């Protein structure tokens, strides 16, 4: 990326983000300003600095409880963080989409993708295959937003007279369980919607469609809801912030790959199909025909006691895809396909989702009660302690049932448990690993305990973790 001589004409101000969000926050404004400055110094040959550009910023997110259970309907509690992705959009006259990534440029990797606008009119499955080619996957998160807007008829790409220059800069740690990909998609979607002057859109739904249909990751809705709105998920947060949460990176890339995630999700829907089949059998035995699905397609709607009493013993530990399809038919999941030669961990997936949904409901109830004005300080501390211990249990289930391997996060969780006296209540993996969410007091004593944990990890693992704060 060649350096350009500084311009003597002051550039036009950045168009404000009309969708609210982080540009009004110090960290978001700083990130947007840095992007604007880098465009002026490094991309002046592509962007017209005399004309306005639209810049939007979307935060990352910290998964406090429930982040990988959302596709099974579980309640989720997550909060936006003070790191994110800034995306700049400016029209260009040649009906070409040119996407630049400053992050990839800084890593000395291919950082530019050019595509004719009409290429994004292709069917989404075809675009998914094309963006899956080496060196192109990252651009699917950005250019895929235009394809999804076209497929939903929010725009007609065949009628646009201009293309777009799009530049991206983010500071969310990658593959660290902090929603970096969701942040990138949301930043791009918001910037494009604003640049195109489109009416109000279902931004979380559009962003999820990009991840599901273009990127090919069958993720649930939580990440996109949080990063698109900049608002924490879970009613406990709106009840009052008597609780505080801090994130900490582990320096480990998640061991739980997209293929692992997809297989585990598919196993959960296989479990749903088998449980529903058993419900029908129980109904016949009782002389009553089961009409519909009492779970409404979601394992989180099955009461834990009913699961233990009636259904858990019926589930196999694993089932081969070919056996399931032959004996039971397909699942109801539109985003995964049962593979003939895969062995699916059905019992582990069902245990994970149903026990986790119960933990999250209790966690949320403890935080809501802790936030009540009439709750005494000692009782509030006990409630936070109970909530924190549910985080420990959730972390253990991520390891035992999902099979996530992140020894540094295990060590962080153990150190949090050893420092409960300092106002730390509990900890668990965020997302699918790479960082840890810590429930704690918002006090200097708790901050110092967290700093001590970070220093311990630095001494043991050879790198200093990054502290992540909620926005």
CA distance 39 to 437: 34
Q: Which helix (H) or strand (E) holds 320?
A: strand 319-320
Q: How many helical (H) and strand (E) elements, i.e. helices and strands, does the chain have?
A: 15, 11
If pLDDT is split at 50, 70 and 90, which confidence band does 3 have?
A: very low
**Rg of the chain taking only CA atoms, in angstroms:** 24
Among 78-82, 250-254, 258-262, 315-319, which is the least confidently predicted range?
250-254
pLDDT digits (tens, 9 = 90+) for 91-115: 999 999 999 999 999 999 999 999 9
pLDDT digits (tens, 9 = 90+) for 381-432: 999 999 999 999 999 999 999 999 899 999 999 999 999 999 999 999 999 9
pLDDT digits (tens, 9 = 90+) for 34-43: 999 999 999 9
**Spatial contact of 254 and 177, defined as CB atoms under 8 Å apart:** yes
If pLDDT is split at 50, 70 and 90, which confidence band does 232 have?
A: confident
Predicted pLDDT at 95:
94
Does residue 206 register a pLDDT over 60?
yes
- Alpha-helical (H) ranges within 311-443 are 321-328, 346-371, 377-400, 407-418
**Spatial contact of 269 and 280, defined as CB atoms under 8 Å apart:** no
Does residue 317 register a pLDDT over 80?
yes
Predicted pLDDT at 233:
81
Give the residue among 262, 183, 269, 153 at the shortest CA–CA distance from 217: 262
Q: Which helix (H) or strand (E) holds 263?
A: helix 258-285
- Look at 141 and 10; give whichever has higher pLDDT: 141
CA distance 68 to 72: 9
Q: Which helix (H) or strand (E) holds 273?
A: helix 258-285
pLDDT digits (tens, 9 = 90+) for 438-449: 999 999 999 999
pLDDT digits (tens, 9 = 90+) for 170-204: 999 999 999 999 999 999 999 999 999 999 899 99
Domains of the chain: 21-233 (3.30.230.10), 244-256+372-469 (3.30.70.890), 261-347 (no CATH)
pLDDT digits (tens, 9 = 90+) for 282-310: 999 999 999 899 999 999 999 999 999 99
Predicted pLDDT at 16:
39
- DSSP one-letter code for 299: G
């Amino acid at each position: 990326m060649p350096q350009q001589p500084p311009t003597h004409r002051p550039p036009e101000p950045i168009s404000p983000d009309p969708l609210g969000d982080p540009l009004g926050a110090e960290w978001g404004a700083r990130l947007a300003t840095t992007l604007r400055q880098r465009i002026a110094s490094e991309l002046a040959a592509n962007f017209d600095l005399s004309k306005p550009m639209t810049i939007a910023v979307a935060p990352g997110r910290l998964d406090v409880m429930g982040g990988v259970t959302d596709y099974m309907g579980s309640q989720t509690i997550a909060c936006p963080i003070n790191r994110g992705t800034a995306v700049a959009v400016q029209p260009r006259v040649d009906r070409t989409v040119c996407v630049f990534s400053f992050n990839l440029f800084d890593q000395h990797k291919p950082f530019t993708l050019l595509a004719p606008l009409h290429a994004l009119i292709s069917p989404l499955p075809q675009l998914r295959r094309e963006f899956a080619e080496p060196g192109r996957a990252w651009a699917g998160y950005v250019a895929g937003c235009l394809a999804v807007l076209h497929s939903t008829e929010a725009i007609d790409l065949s009628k646009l007279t201009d293309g777009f220059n799009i530049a991206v800069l983010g500071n969310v740690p990658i593959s660290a369980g902090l929603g970096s990909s969701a942040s990138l998609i949301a930043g791009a979607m918001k910037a494009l919607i604003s640049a195109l002057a489109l009416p109000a859109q279902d931004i979380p739904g559009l962003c999820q469609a990009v991840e599901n249909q273009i990127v090919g990751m069958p993720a649930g809705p939580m990440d996109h809801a949080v990063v698109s709105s900049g608002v924490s998920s879970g009613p406990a947060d709106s009840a009052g912030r008597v609780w505080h949460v801090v994130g900490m990176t582990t320096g480990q890339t998640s061991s739980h790959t997209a293929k692992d995630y997809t297989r585990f999700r598919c196993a959960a829907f296989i479990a749903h199909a088998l449980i529903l089949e058993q419900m029908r059998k129980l109904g016949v035995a009782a002389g009553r025909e089961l009409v519909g699905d009492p779970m409404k397609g979601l394992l989180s709607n099955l009461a834990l006691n009913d699961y233990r009493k009636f259904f858990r013993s019926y589930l196999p530990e694993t089932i081969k895809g070919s056996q399931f399809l032959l004996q039971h038919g397909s699942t109801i999941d539109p985003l995964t396909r049962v593979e003939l030669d895969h062995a699916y961990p059905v019992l582990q997936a069902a245990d994970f989702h149903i026990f986790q949904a119960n933990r999250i409901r209790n966690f949320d109830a403890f935080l809501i009660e802790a936030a009540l004005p009439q709750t005494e300080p000692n009782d509030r501390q006990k409630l936070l302690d109970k909530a924190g211990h549910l985080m420990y249990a959730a972390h253990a289930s991520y390891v035992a049932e999902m099979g996530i391997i992140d020894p540094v996060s295990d060590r962080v969780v153990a150190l949090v448990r050893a420092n409960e006296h300092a106002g730390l209540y509990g900890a668990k993996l965020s997302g699918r690993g790479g960082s840890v969410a810590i429930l704690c007091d918002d006090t200097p004593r708790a901050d110092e305990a967290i700093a001590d944990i970070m220093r311990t990890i630095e001494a043991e693992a050879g790198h200093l973790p990054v502290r992540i704060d909620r926005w």
